[in-house]
Amino acid sequence: MIPIAVTIAGSDSGGGAGIQADLKTFSALEVYGASVIAALTAQNTLGVTGVMDVPPEFVTQQIDAVYSDLDVAATKIGMLSDPATIRAVAAGLKAHRARNIVLDPVMVATSGDPLLKPEAVKVIREELMPLADLVTPNMHEAAVLAGGEVAGNIDGMILQGRTLLRAGAKTVLVKGGHLDGDAVDVLVGAGEPRLFSAPRIETSNTHGTGCTLSSAIAARLAHGDALEDAIAAAKSYLSGALAASGELHVGSGHGPVHHFHALWKKGKTS
């Protein structure tokens, strides 16, 4: 029986990030994907022109509908911009005893457009972060959640990860995509920190990379992988999707990664 994962996030009208990226990732990794849409965005590869939150009551309805019927093996949480919506999601996950929760605290789009209301940060940190089995902030998001400056090196990433552990997180993967050199992510948990490194791929097609990594981790957890194995497999998948992103020719800004790089026939995408 195919494992099931759910994404709770915002919709990306351009198809490269958010709910759309998550569902593509689930499908590519042989997981049945269901969704709870928490916000609608008007965006493309050039930027975000509008965000409309879904009423929290309807977010709750979606959660109840999905989790009461489907045997959900993993949950990925993405963009939640409104405090009331965040509280609704936290309550729903508790009520349905959701497992293998991966929280990607999306705050800013690849284009630089803000996606999160400032007052929502506190609610994410206090009500949602402690429910997650893994939190996957990039360096800027980790700094906001930890209440400090952006880390300048791996040691700083580890310190901010530990700050988030003290704030209630179970494990934290601080993504180091903004550092020079190889793309190094740092896993901080109960034991010694572990580094996950991959060669940096020079491409402007980076739209949805954070969404794709976190949903790939959730997909591998749904398959039954241990957390560190899931992270390693997800990072390898994302590297392949980035390397093949130039085959898509989507948009004139930050294009999407190629979620189906291992499945589509060469020469059929241009």
Report whether 10 contacts 38 (CB < 8 A): yes
At 232, list the tokens. Answer: 């390693």
C-alpha span between 35 and 129 (Å, rounded)? 20
Single-letter amino acid, residue 142: A
208 is catalytic: yes
Is residue 85 flagged as an active site residue? no
Among the listed residues 41, 45, 171, 209, the single catalytic one is: 209
Q: Which of 10, 16, 18, 210 is flagged as catalytic?
A: 210
Please state, in angstroms and rounded to a whole number, the distance separating the CA atoms of residues 12 and 21: 8
Contacts for 202 with CB less than 8 Å, ≥ 6 apart: none
Find the catalytic residue in 7, 25, 60, 206. 206
Catalytic residue among 18, 175, 176, 212: 175
Which of 16, 75, 211, 212 is catalytic? The answer is: 211
Catalytic residue among 15, 16, 189, 208: 208
Tokens matching residue 261 = 């790089």
Alpha helical stretches, state H, the chain: 18-28, 56-69, 83-95, 120-123, 139-146, 154-166, 209-222, 227-243
Dihedral-angle region of residue 231 (phi above 0 means left; psi in -120 to 50 means alpha; beta otherwise): alpha
Which amino acid is residue 211, in one-letter code?
A: C
To the query of whether residue 94 is one of the catalytic residues in this protein, the response is no
Q: Tell me whether residue 206 is one of the annotated catalytic residues.
A: yes
Q: Could you list the active site residues?
A: 175, 206, 208-211
